[in-house]
């Protein structure tokens, strides 16, 4: 598979780079960003933190706003940020142009309903294709963790819970933990997955945590000033499900913080250090 390097920027002794490639999974060209810390070399392959962004975002939001690269350089951790959905002129989108469905809102699942099921396979892309690309082209190891924000927090939690052998740890900021019962999730799932709600549970962290056989270290930060807290996010649902299942979950409610990257940048160092403990 060929990669096209579209940008390169030196940062904290390492490199932030953007690439495009033709995705066999998504049937379109995709872009991702990677930060390679100064320790990365063919003789010293570094672990990877995969970051999944939220609604309307691209690979650029986290890399430019989170302030994560300096500590990643110190810790020797690569960061990979994919886009949030397939993109292109032929990609089906929300007919009304809404931000919470279609392009920019892939929800990290494998769609089963037409016309979405030709392109919207973000679950397979993140779990299978992208790591193969990264490990095949860059000086990184197969040791990895996963994190994300909002819709991306949903993706990080569900992917980790379904693939606990592939990741060392998982964290999230303001995740959609129970998408089957909130408007964002119900809209996306009914379109991508159809009306059989039993199939939705395969992408719901509250359902998945109840049957998890392997427990990964899990850290979640949630601002109590988040404008989406009560209608869309409902972290208390995941906390209750984890307690019932005996799953060790650290959920931190942060006073006054909202849903923005001001929140993420305030606590991203904690998450990087949390993952570093398990990646090393």
For the annotated catalytic residues, the residue numbers are 150, 226, 259
The residues that bridge with 145 in the sheet, in sequence order, are 49
Q: What are 200's two structure tokens? A: 């939705």
Report cis status (omega within 30 of 0) of the bond before 85.
no
C-alpha separations of 178 from 49, 203, 216 in Å: 24, 9, 19
**What is the layout of strands, in order, in the sheet containing 170-173?**
4-11, 14-23, 28-36, 78-82, 46-52, 140-149, 170-173, 218-223, 250-254
Expressed in percent and rounded to 5, the helix, strand and coil fractions of the chain are: 40, 25, 35
């Amino acid at each position: 598979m060929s990669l096209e390097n579209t940008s390169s920027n030196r940062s904290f002794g390492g490199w932030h780079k953007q690439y495009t490639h033709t995705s066999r999974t998504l049937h379109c060209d995709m872009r991702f960003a990677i930060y390679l810390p100064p320790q990365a070399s063919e003789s010293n392959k570094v672990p990877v933190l995969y970051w999944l962004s939220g609604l309307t975002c691209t690979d650029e939001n986290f890399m430019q706003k989170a302030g994560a690269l300096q500590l990643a350089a110190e810790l020797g951790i690569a960061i990979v940020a994919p886009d949030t959905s397939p993109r292109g002129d032929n990609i089906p989108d929300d007919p009304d142009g809404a931000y919470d469905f279609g392009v920019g809102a892939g929800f990290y699942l494998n769609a089963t309903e037409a016309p979405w099921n030709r392109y919207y396979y973000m679950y397979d892309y993140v779990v299978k294709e992208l790591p193969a690309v990264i490990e095949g082209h860059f000086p990184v190891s197969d040791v990895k963790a996963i994190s994300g924000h909002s819709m991306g927090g949903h993706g990080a939690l569900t992917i980790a819970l379904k693939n606990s052998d592939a990741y060392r740890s998982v964290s999230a900021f303001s995740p959609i933990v129970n998408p089957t019962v909130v408007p964002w999730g119900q809209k996306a799932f009914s379109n991508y997955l159809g009306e059989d709600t039993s199939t939705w549970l395969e992408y719901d962290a509250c359902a998945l945590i109840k049957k998890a056989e392997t427990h990964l270290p899990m850290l979640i930060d949630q601002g109590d000033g988040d404008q989406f807290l009560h209608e869309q996010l409902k972290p208390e649902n995941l906390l209750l499900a984890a307690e019932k299942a005996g799953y060790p979950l650290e959920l931190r409610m942060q006073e006054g913080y909202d849903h923005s990257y001001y929140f993420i940048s305030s606590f991203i160092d904690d998450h990087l250090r949390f993952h570093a403990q398990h990646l090393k």
